[in-house]
Every structure is written in structure tokens, then in C-alpha cells.
Amino acid sequence: MTETHKTESELHEDDAPKGERIAKALARAGVGSRRDIERMITDGRITVNGEILKTPAVLVDSLKGITVDGNEIASVSDTRLWRMHKRKGTLTTHKDPEGRPTVFDQLPDRLGRVISVGRLDMNTEGLLLLTNDGELARWLELPQNEVVRRYRVRVYGHVRENDLKKLKDGVTIDGVHYGSIDAVLEQGGAANSWLSVAIREGKNREVRRVMEHLGLTVNRLIRTHYGPFSIGTLNPGAVAEVSNKQLHDMLAAFFREEKSSLVAPSKTRDTSKWAKAKTKKAVKPGDKRRRKFKAEQRRRLEGKPIDAKPAQDSRGRKEGKLTLNTKAGTKPKRTAPKRPQSPKESS
């Protein structure tokens, strides 16, 4: 008899794939980003139960028996995040073949295994985020999440404010397109000027290349904000952990996605056959609280203050409720909240 293969939709619940991809599991354990781990697999640095792993297309339900460079992987711990004031002249890498100083050389041992959220050039200073969760680092780096990075930039050359305004529409340089950039002249000078620059993609040397395109030379670059997190009063080289409450408040969207991605497979209602559980939409139509929550999260990622004003409709009125008329064919009309009835009005 010829052997037949079932498609995923034909699998019963008991046949559903278990666990998660090994790259994601190791990223959550803080080994590195998914891309880093895939490179480690290609280089033969990861083993499972003593055998060298040759493909990232492997599902695991625990880290038991997995080693990286011969070292066992500790179990996944709670997600943590640190703010670091990176010094100028240090590299954002774990090891440098030339022996130059790195940010990880300066970290206290108590932090354990951590990775950086993105990178800063050797001569760029300011806020660098560190985490023990590769999935969080990936989420903060993804361009589609539009997490805003803010910089103070000192440039040499003549600043044309009209050129800065044009960056709002994005710019293409040597075949590379850079998305919308907010650039404002803070302080002009005879030779050097200070700019405030906000980007949403974080491409390699983005700020420097865009400024060079405008005929300006960057001679100092300081990152002050990454999404809702700021450098604050951190001294150069200092590290401070973000509290668990602040982390969950500021990045609630990430933790909601992580929770939904770990939901076990479920049966479909009509066929009782296995299907992957779908992620619920973050915002349901008509749910004011969820709409407000999403708006607040977006403002946090953009580093903007939360506006506590009551929700209003497109005409600037406070949102009320819609009631249906009893007559057929009539449209819903907006009514004000009912006031208490007097004894004469009650029936």
C-alpha cells in the first residue's frame, strides 16, 4: 500500500506538533537573536542530545539536552530589561578579534547572559537597552513595530531647515530607502549645530548617512530614548534595571503577543479537526477601553506623554451610546444618558 501524508489541516489534535522552534526557544533563553542562533546552527555550535544540529526546523518543548559551544542552557527565566549609558569608543559586541573594549566587558557579573537591543556604533554614545530575552530584543528592533529611537546630533556644516523637513517623507541614498525621519534644529552655530532626530527603523549608520546626504558631518551622536525608555540621569558606563511593573506597563503589547503565541492548539468548532489557535485581535470594534489602551501603547513606543483626555468622536463630542428606534427602517440615533424620572413621568 502506498504511504500517504496528511496535510496540517487533516491532522487530529493528538497529531498536532508540540513545542516551538529551537531558534525561538533559545532566543527566549537569552542566547541571542533568532538570526544569531540560526548562524550558530550553520556553524555547528549547537547540539541536541549530543548530536550536532544541522537545521533550525526543529521543535523543542524544553531546553534539556541542548548545548551551545558545549555549555548547557539554563531554563528560561522571567524577561528582564536594563538601561545602559554606553560610552563613546566601545563596541556593541561580545568579543572583538582586535581586542578593542566592548560594552559587555564592562557589565557586572550579576547580569548573567544578556544581549543588546540593536547596536550603537563605536563612536556613538547614549542609551543602549540590554535584555535576557531574545524575543523582546527582536520585537523592539522590528521596523513594523515602529519603536522610535531619539538622538541628539551635533553636526558640522550649514543646516537648511527645509532639507530637514523633507526627511519626513523618507529618503533613498545609494539604493537604500530610509523611512520617515523627524529632524529639528535645536541650536544653530557658526560651525556646529545641534539637531534632534527621531527614526523608526534603526538601519546601520542611518543617522550618519542621512546627515552626510544633506552635506553635514556628524561629530557627536547621543541616543537619548528608545521607545518609552530614556537615558535619564545615568552616568556614562552605568547600568540600571527597568522595574518589572514598568516593563510590563510600557511594553504590554509585546507581552500580550508572547502570551497569545504560547496558546496551545485547539479544535475548530465545525470539524473537530486540529487547527492552530489564532491570535485574538488586540482591539475589538466598539471597545473603548481597548482602543484607548492601544493608543496609549503607541504613544509610549513613540516616547510621547499619555493624553488623559476623554475619548471623543470625529466631531469632537464625547462618545455616547447608540439606541435603536422602534420603527422599522429608521437609522440608529445618538441619545444622551437618561436622567432619573420624576413621579409624574413614571408609568
DSSP-derived letter for residue 104 is: G
Parallel, antiparallel, or unpaired for β 239-241 and 229-230?
unpaired
Q: How far apart are CA 289 and CA 284, in angstroms?
A: 10
Question: How are the residues of the chain apportioned to helix, strand and coil, as percentages rounded to the nearest 5?
Answer: 25, 25, 50
Residue 87 φ then ψ, to 5°: -80, 150
Instruction: Give the DSSP letter of residue 318.
Output: B
d(CA 202, CA 329): 54
Determine whether 69 is an active site residue. no
Q: Which of 121, 163, 182, 249 is catalytic?
A: 121
Give strand ranges (E) for 49-175.
51-52, 59-60, 66-68, 71-72, 81-86, 115-116, 125-131, 149-156, 171-173
Active site residues: 121
